[in-house]
Structure 1
Amino acid sequence: MASLIYLDHNATTPIAPEVLEAMLPWLREGFGNPGSDHPLGRAARAALDRARAQVAALIGATPDEVIFTASATEANNLALIGAARALAERGRHLITSAVDHPSVAAPLGHLAASGWELTVLPVNAEGRVDPADLTAALRPDTVLVSVMHANNEVGTLQPIAELAALARARSAVFHCDAAQSIGKIPVNVDALGVDLLTLAGHKFHAPKGIGALYRRAGIPLAPILFGAGQEGGLRPGTENVPYAVGLGAAAALAAGRLPALTERLTRQRDRLHATLAAAIPGLTLNGHPEARLPNTLSLAFPGVTGRDLLARAPRVAASLGAACHAGATAISGVLGAMGVDPARALGTVRLSLGAETTDAELDAAAAALIAAWRGLTAG
C-alpha cells in the first residue's frame, strides 16, 4: 500500500528530529533531579532553565512567567480553577465561548457546579465571538474570561487582543488557550494582551506529555495540585527535564522558521482548497475565510458523509472534527455552535497540514479525495 499522507496535524504532530536530539542526553546520562545540589542535579536545573527561556522567548514572555505542566489540559485546569479560586472573594462570574475546547469547558463546568456562575458567549456562522457580546456579558463580579486563540476544528482565529482589552478594562483576568496557534502563527502575549496563555507541546513538534502555562507577573493563581514547591509552588512534582527540554527545543525551532512557515502553509492550504473546489461542486468551507490558521481546511463535502469519504481514501489520514471526538457520529459541537446544518456537518472533513507536508503529498491527497467523492456520488 502507498504511504500514508498525514493531514491531521491539529490532532498531533511528529516529534521534530531536532527536538528528539535535544532530548536524548537527558533521557540517558542527564538523569539528575533538578532539585539535587550536585553536578547531575545542577546540570538538570540548567537545562530546565534554558528550556523555560526558550519557551518564554517564543511568546514574548519572561522565563519566570512560564510554568511547565504535563499537558495543555493540565495548564487549562490550573489557569481556570487556579484563577477562579484565587479571585473568589472578588466575584464568581466566569465567561467563555461556545467553541472552546473541552479542556476549558470541563473545568469551567466544574466551577459552575461548585457555585460559580458561567456565561457562554455565542459565535457567528464563521465561528467568531462578537466583542459586543463580551461587553454585554461583563459584570462587576466577572473575574475571569477564557476564549481560545484558534479553533482546533475549523481554524478560526478569535479577536483576542480586542476581547482581552475589554476584559482587562473591567478588571477581569483573561485566559487564552493557544494550543492550536503556537508554532503556526506568531503569538506574543503582550500583543494579545492576555494574562494567562496555554501551550501544548505535541501540537508543535514536541512530545506528548508536556505543556506550559504562561502567567503574567502579578496575576493571582491558586495551586490545584499539592506537594513540594516546584514551578513556583504551582505545579508540584519532580520536573520532567527531558520533555521540558523537548518543549524548549520545539519553541526555538518554531521561532526560527516563523513567519516563513506560516506563508508556506497558507499557500499550500489555499492550493489544496482550490484543487478540491474545482473538482467538487458545492464544496463548502467551514470557518472564517481569512482569519484562520494557515494550515487548516474544514471542508463540507456535499452528498456524502466525511466518514464514508475517508474510508474510500485510506491513504489520507485526516479527521472528522476534533481528534478527541474521533469515532463519534454526533454533530460536532463547534459546527453546531456555528449553526451548520446536520447534513453539512456530517459531510465535514478537517485537513490540517504540517511543517513536513509536501506539495506532492497534497496533490495525491486531493486526487484520492476527489476520486472517493466521485465514487460515492456516482449515479
Structure 2
Amino acid sequence: MKTVYLDNAATTPMDVEVIKVMQESMLTNFGNPSSTHQFGRKAKAVIETARKNIAKHFNVSSSEIIFTSSGTEANNLILYNAVLNLGVKRIITSKIEHHAVLHVVYYLQETYNIKVDFVNLNELGEVDLQDLEDKLTLSAEKTLVSLMMINNEIGNILPIDKISSLCKSNNALFHSDTVQAIGHYIIDLQKNPIDFITASAHKFHGPKGVGFAYFNKQHTVKPMLHGGNQEKGVRSSTENVHAILGMEKALKIAYTNLTKDLQQITEVKTYFINKLLDVNSQIAFNGLSSQLDKSSYTILNVRLPLKNNMLLFNLDLMGIAVSGGSACQSGSSKGSHVLTAILNEVEAKKTSVRFSFSKFTTKQDVDYALQKISSFLF
C-alpha cells in the first residue's frame, strides 16, 4: 500500500545527514560532558561548539542558548522563570496558543495567582493589535506577553516586529513559542528583539527529545530541575550530546537550503490549494492558512463542507497521515481549542484537517491524497 506523510507539523522525518552525524557521535562522544578527563572534555567541547553554531543563526551569544529536552520544556522553563524569578505578575496571551504554553499559564494562574489576559482575535485567528496595546497600557504590573510566531494548527504568522515593538514601548517582556518557525524562517533577534524563544529539533528534520530555550542575556535564569548544575546551572541533567549535534546539523541544513526548500514546499502547498478547490469549491481554509504571505508555507488547515468523524481513520487506512482539527478526529471530545476559539458553532462542527508539508513532500503525494479525499466529498 502506498503511504503518504502529510503531518510534518507534528514531526518531520529525520534527515539522513543528521542520522550520520548522530551515529558518529555515538561512537566517538561517549564521555560524560561533566567529567574532567579527556573523554568528558571532548564531549563538552562539541556541545559548546554546537551551541555557538546554533546561536549564530539567530544573531545571539552562545551563552543565551540553553539546551532542553523539547520545546515544551523550554516553554515551561521560560514561563516559570518569568513568574518565579523575573517578577511577572500578569501574562497576556491568546486562546489559540499551543498547550505547552496555555496549560502552563493556567497552572501559574492557579498556583501563583498570576493575572491572565487574553488578547482579542478575529475570525481568522489574527491578533487584535489595538486590543494588545490597550491591555499593555491598562496596568503598570510587570507583564509578559506570550504569543507564538507561527500557529501550529492554522499556520498564522504573527507580526513579530509589531508585537516586539509594542512590548518594548510598554516595558513588557516578550516570549514567543517559535517551534514551528525555527528552521523555516530567518529569526534575527537583534532586528526583532524578543526576550525568549523556543525550539524543538524534530520540527526541522532533527531528532526528537532535544530543543533549546533562548534567554536574552539581560535576564537571569534559575533552574526548574536541580541536581547536577549542567547547562550553566540552568538545567540539571546530563546533556544529550548526540541529539544536540543532530539538532545542530539539522539547523545548518535547514538554513543552508532555506530558499530552495521554501520555494519547493510553497509550490506543493499552492498546487494542493488549487486542486482542492477544483474538487469542491465549497471547501474553506481555516485561519490564514491559504494566504501564502500570511501563513507558514508548511501548514494548510482545510475545512470540509461536511462532518465526517471517521475521515482521519479512513485516510489512515489508505496510508495517508494527517491531523484533525475538530472533535472526534483529535481523540478529544472538546475538539480543537484553536478552531473553537475562532469559528462559529456551525463551522466548528464541520470536519477540519491539517495538512502539513516538508521538503520530502511531492506533488504525487498530494495527488494521491486528493484522490482519496475526493471519494468522501461526493
- Please, what TM-score do these two structures have when normalized by structure 1? 0.93
* 2:129 paired residue number: 131
* 1:103 paired residue number: 100
1:297 aligns with 2:300: yes
Q: How far off is 1:312 after superposition?
A: 5.0
* 2:51 paired residue number: 52
Q: Gaps spanning 5+ residues in structure 1: where?
A: 375-379
Number of corresponding residues: 369
* 2:20 paired residue number: 21
* 2:325/2:335 contact within 8 Å kept: no
- Please, what TM-score do these two structures have when normalized by structure 2? 0.93
SS at match of 1:162: helix
Q: How far off is 1:129 after superposition?
A: 0.8
SS at match of 2:41: helix
1:92 aligns with 2:59: no
Question: CA separation in 2, counterparts of 1:25 and 1:308?
Answer: 42
* 2:324 paired residue number: 320
Alignment of 1:167-182 (within 5 A): 167-182=167-182
* 1:185/1:259 contact within 8 Å kept: no
* 1:308 paired residue number: 311
Alignment of 1:262-301 (within 5 A): 262-288=262-288, 289=291, 290-301=293-304
Counterpart of 1:364, as a letter, is: Y
* 2:79 paired residue number: 80
* 1:333 paired residue number: 337
* 1:223 paired residue number: 223
Counterpart of 1:102, as a letter, is: H
* 1:306/1:346 contact within 8 Å kept: no
* 1:87/1:143 contact within 8 Å kept: no
Question: CA separation in 1, counterparts of 2:94 and 2:30?
Answer: 42
SS at match of 1:349: strand
1:161 aligns with 2:164: no
Q: Deviations over 1:298-337 (max 9, x none)?
A: 0111123264265156222101039xx8322433110111
Which one is further off, 169-178 or 342-351?
342-351
SS at match of 1:351: strand
SS at match of 2:190: helix
| Cα 1:340/1:53, change in 2 over 3 Å | farther
* 1:58/1:254 contact within 8 Å kept: no
Q: How far off is 1:342 after superposition?
A: 4.0
Question: CA separation in 2, counterparts of 1:344 and 1:111?
Answer: 29
Question: CA separation in 1, counterparts of 2:338 and 2:12?
Answer: 22
Counterpart of 1:116, as a letter, is: I
Question: CA separation in 1, counterparts of 2:164 and 2:232?
Answer: 25
* 1:232 paired residue number: 232
* 2:366 paired residue number: 362
Question: CA separation in 2, counterparts of 1:312 and 1:108?
Answer: 35
Question: CA separation in 2, counterparts of 1:14 and 1:264?
Answer: 17
* 2:251 paired residue number: 251
* 1:377 paired residue number: none
Q: Deviations over 1:59-81 (max 9, x none)?
A: 22221111000011100000011
Counterpart of 1:43, as a letter, is: K
* 1:84/1:143 contact within 8 Å kept: no
Q: Deviations over 1:245-265 (max 9, x none)?
A: 111111111111112211221
1:204 aligns with 2:197: no
Question: CA separation in 2, counterparts of 1:55 and 1:345?
Answer: 42
Percent identical pairs in the alignment equals: 32
SS at match of 1:9: coil
* 1:149/1:176 contact within 8 Å kept: yes
* 2:196/2:216 contact within 8 Å kept: yes
Counterpart of 1:127, as a letter, is: G
* 2:339/2:348 contact within 8 Å kept: no
Counterpart of 1:93, as a letter, is: R
